[in-house]
């Protein structure tokens, strides 16, 4: 890297990017000023007080967009104990060690927060089992699906859950035994849990500094935060974190019906998120009403959809409402897509937002648990793209791997952590995999200067995407990652 002195943060010249889908030939330089791409050409020369980056033939790409992530949950998960790590029989001891440790940096330091639990580790959990592991400090463990939390008795008491006068809907989220006593198992109760943690002074918002810089290192300049519970409070919180430089990425914030339409330079409101849960499906007419109302307010919807029945619900709801003429509705995950629904998805004009990285991180378990027809339908890519269904890529962090390059490589190879292959026919090219995260045509004068420079030429980078190193990342012309 060469740099003029002093660098003017408002003007950057990127010299010598190599050929790629963004540029047919080498010798093009790119100038950014005032937050936008202002000039592209082979005649550009450095100006006084302009910061120069010599790409040296490395590929230049638009900044990557992670289309499905939960920022606050990811930061909290990183400060949590991962149940899936290490020998399963050591989990109780690891929890006790964590309880004894300082737990510093954790958003709620007296608590032990554990994540990524699966029954294969130590069977079904309830408060009694957790009390055996940790009787006198609050403990909460999240299931790997993200849909269940289990709390020990100390935690239940601290949150005063038993005494709460709950709405009927919230009642159903708290499981009770035959003596009407809480079992400690909470289903799809994130909003309730968070409300109780805040109300009882047991939670502060996690710090996003480290997570945001890691995303910048991967070339990620913007994200869609897809938490169904997002409302005005999360909008204000994330905006404040951007203002003080803690959060570097632009945010498109999906959320609940109370999230008002709002657009600021770095954050704006996205779709209405609708959770579908096969075990407790909402009334179809009510869903149709919610979608119609969102469309009337010029807002798209995004369905959380992992099973085939959930997909059938999405298709019947959207068939009834029709697509919004401008706002594209989304199917999040589309984990299982039967072949005969692909054409319907295309006709409905919905976008599938998928996570091929889960083939990597969870694939070996899928191979044991799923039937062969299900494995064929899992996290499809090629059959969707070939049939002109728009597809976007994402991490679903904290539930899937954060690194977009690992996810892209998984889209190309379809390999599990144990090197088994799932759905080889759904593999796509490296060029297609990268385009799940960016639009190659976005490097054009007048577009925001959200860019990333790779340390390697295009042909080397696409040969093995997981080895990709991003040397520089710019968001709105501002350098948010540089070589150390
Ligand atoms: Zn998610």
Per-residue model confidence (pLDDT) at position 44: 93
CATH classification (class only), 80-199? alpha beta
Tell how far the Cα of 431 is from the centroid of ligand 1, in angstroms.
Answer: 25
Q: Kindly state the average pLDDT of the residues 387-404.
A: 97
- How does DSSP assign 61-111, residue by residue? EEPEEEEEE-HHHHHHHHTSEETTSS-GGGHHHHHHHHHHS--TT-SSTTS
- Count the Cβ atoms, other than its own, within 10 Å of residue 6: 8
Whether residue 2 has pLDDT greater than 60: no
Q: Kindly state the average pLDDT of the residues 430-434.
A: 98
Confidence of residue 7 (pLDDT cuts 50, 70, 90): very low
Per-residue model confidence (pLDDT) at position 1: 42
In angstroms, the CA 57 to CA 351 distance is 34
* 328-364 pLDDT, tens digit each: 999 999 999 999 999 999 999 999 999 999 999 999 9
Tell how far the Cα of 68 is from the centroid of ligand 1, in angstroms.
Answer: 6
Q: Name the phi and psi angles at 165, rounded to 5.
A: -90, 100
Q: Kindly state the average pLDDT of the residues 55-69.
A: 97
Closest Cα to residue 84, out of 306, 400, 347, 450? 400
Q: In percent, how much of the chain has pLDDT > 90?
A: 81
> Domain spans of the chain?
1-63+440-484, 66-70+207-437, 80-199
Given a contact cutoff of 8 angstroms between Cβ atoms, the answer to whether 223 and 65 are in contact is yes
Exposure letters 18-57 (e unless 16+ CB within 10 A, then b): bbbbbbeeeebbbbbbebbbbebeeebebeeebbbbbbbb
Given a contact cutoff of 8 angstroms between Cβ atoms, the answer to whether 34 and 10 are in contact is yes
- In this chain, the answer to whether the domains covering 1-63+440-484 and 80-199 adopt an identical fold is no
Q: List the CATH code of the domain at 1-63+440-484.
A: 2.30.40.10
Q: Which residue has the tokens 């913007």?
A: 222
Whether residue 5 has pLDDT greater than 60: no
Tell how far the Cα of 50 is from the centroid of ligand 1, in angstroms.
Answer: 41
Given a contact cutoff of 8 angstroms between Cβ atoms, the answer to whether 196 and 239 are in contact is no
Per-residue model confidence (pLDDT) at position 4: 40
Q: What's the CATH fold of domain 66-70+207-437?
A: TIM Barrel (3.20.20)
Tell how far the Cα of 114 is from the centroid of ligand 1, in angstroms.
Answer: 18
Whether residue 64 has pLDDT greater than 60: yes
Joined tokens for residue 116: 């990524």
Given a contact cutoff of 8 angstroms between Cβ atoms, the answer to whether 272 and 255 are in contact is yes
Q: Kindly state the average pLDDT of the residues 382-388.
A: 98
Average of per-residue pLDDT values in the chain: 92
Whether residue 386 has pLDDT greater than 70: yes
Tell how far the Cα of 11 is from the centroid of ligand 1, in angstroms.
Answer: 37
Q: CA 276, 281, 284: angle at the middle one, nearest 5?
A: 95
* 275-324 pLDDT, tens digit each: 998 888 989 999 999 999 999 999 999 999 999 999 999 999 999 999 88
Confidence of residue 205 (pLDDT cuts 50, 70, 90): confident
Query: 71-78 and 232-243 are packed helices; what angle lies between their axes, rounded to 10 degrees?
Result: 70
Whether residue 104 has pLDDT greater than 70: no
Whether residue 59 has pLDDT greater than 90: yes
Tell how far the Cα of 394 is from the centroid of ligand 1, in angstroms.
Answer: 9
**Regarding beta strands 60-62 and 51-54, do their DSSP bridges make them parallel or antiparallel, or are they unpaired?**
unpaired
| Bridge partners (DSSP) listed for residue 255 | 272
Per-residue model confidence (pLDDT) at position 195: 85
Tell how far the Cα of 24 is from the centroid of ligand 1, in angstroms.
Answer: 36
Joined tokens for residue 193: 């849990």
Q: According to DSSP H, which parts of 329-457 are helical?
A: 342-348, 357-369, 372-376, 382-386, 404-413, 430-435
Which residues are in the CB-under-5-Å shell of ion ligand 1? Answer: 396
Q: Kindly state the average pLDDT of the residues 403-410.
A: 98
Question: What radius of gyration, in Å, describes the C-alpha atoms of the chain?
Answer: 23
pTM attached to this predicted model: 0.86
């Amino acid at each position: 890297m060469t740099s003029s002195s002093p660098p003017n943060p408002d003007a950057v010249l990127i010299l010598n990017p190599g050929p790629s889908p963004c540029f047919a030939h080498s010798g093009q330089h790119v100038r950014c000023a005032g937050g936008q791409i202002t000039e592209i050409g082979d005649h550009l020369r450095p100006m006084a007080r302009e910061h120069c980056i010599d790409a040296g033939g490395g590929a230049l790409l638009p900044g990557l967009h992670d289309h499905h992530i939960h920022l606050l949950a990811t930061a909290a998960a990183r400060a949590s104990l991962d149940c899936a790590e290490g020998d399963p029989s050591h989990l109780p001891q690891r929890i006790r060690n964590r309880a004894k440790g300082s737990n510093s940096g954790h958003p709620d330091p007296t608590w032990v927060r554990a994540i990524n639990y699966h029954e294969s580790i130590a069977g079904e959990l309830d408060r009694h089992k957790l009390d055996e592991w940790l009787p006198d400090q609050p403990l909460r463990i999240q299931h790997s699906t993200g849909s269940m939390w289990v709390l020990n008795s100390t935690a239940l008491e601290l949150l005063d859950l038993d005494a709460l006068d709950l709405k009927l809907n919230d009642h159903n989220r708290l499981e009770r035994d035959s003596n009407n006593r809480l079992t400690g198992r909470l289903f799809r109760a994130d909003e309730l849990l968070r409300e109780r943690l805040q109300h009882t002074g047991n939670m502060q918002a996690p710090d996003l500094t480290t997570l945001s810089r890691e995303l910048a290192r991967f070339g990620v300049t913007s994200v869609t935060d897809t938490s169904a519970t997002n409302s005005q409070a999360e909008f204000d919180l994330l905006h404040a974190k951007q203002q003080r430089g803690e959060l570097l990425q632009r945010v498109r914030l999906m959320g609940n019906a109370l999230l008002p339409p709002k657009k600021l330079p770095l954050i704006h409101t996205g779709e209405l998120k609708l959770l579908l849960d096969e075990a407790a499906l909402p009334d179809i007419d009510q869903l149709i009403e919610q979608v119609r109302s969102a469309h009337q307010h010029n807002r798209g919807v995004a369905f959380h959809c992992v099973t085939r029945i959930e997909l059938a619900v999405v298709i019947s709801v959207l068939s009834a409402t029709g697509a919004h003429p401008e706002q594209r509705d989304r199917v999040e995950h589309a984990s299982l897509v039967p072949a005969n629904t692909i054409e319907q998805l295309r006709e409905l004009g919905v976008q599938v937002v998928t996570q091929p990285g889960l083939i990597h991180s969870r694939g070996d378990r899928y191979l044991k648990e799923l039937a062969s027809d299900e494995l064929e339908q899992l996290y499809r890519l090629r059959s969707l793209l070939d049939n002109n269904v728009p597809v976007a890529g994402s991490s679903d962090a904290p539930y899937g791997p954060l690194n977009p390059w690992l996810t892209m490589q998984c889209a190309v190879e379809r390999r599990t952590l144990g090197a088994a292959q799932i759905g080889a026919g759904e593999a796509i090219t490296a060029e297609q995999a990268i385009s799940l995260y960016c639009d190659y045509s976005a490097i054009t004068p007048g577009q925001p200067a959200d860019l990333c420079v790779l340390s390697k030429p295009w042909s080397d980078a696409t040969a093995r995407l997981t080895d990709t190193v991003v040397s520089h990342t710019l968001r709105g012309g501002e350098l948010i990652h540089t070589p150390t």
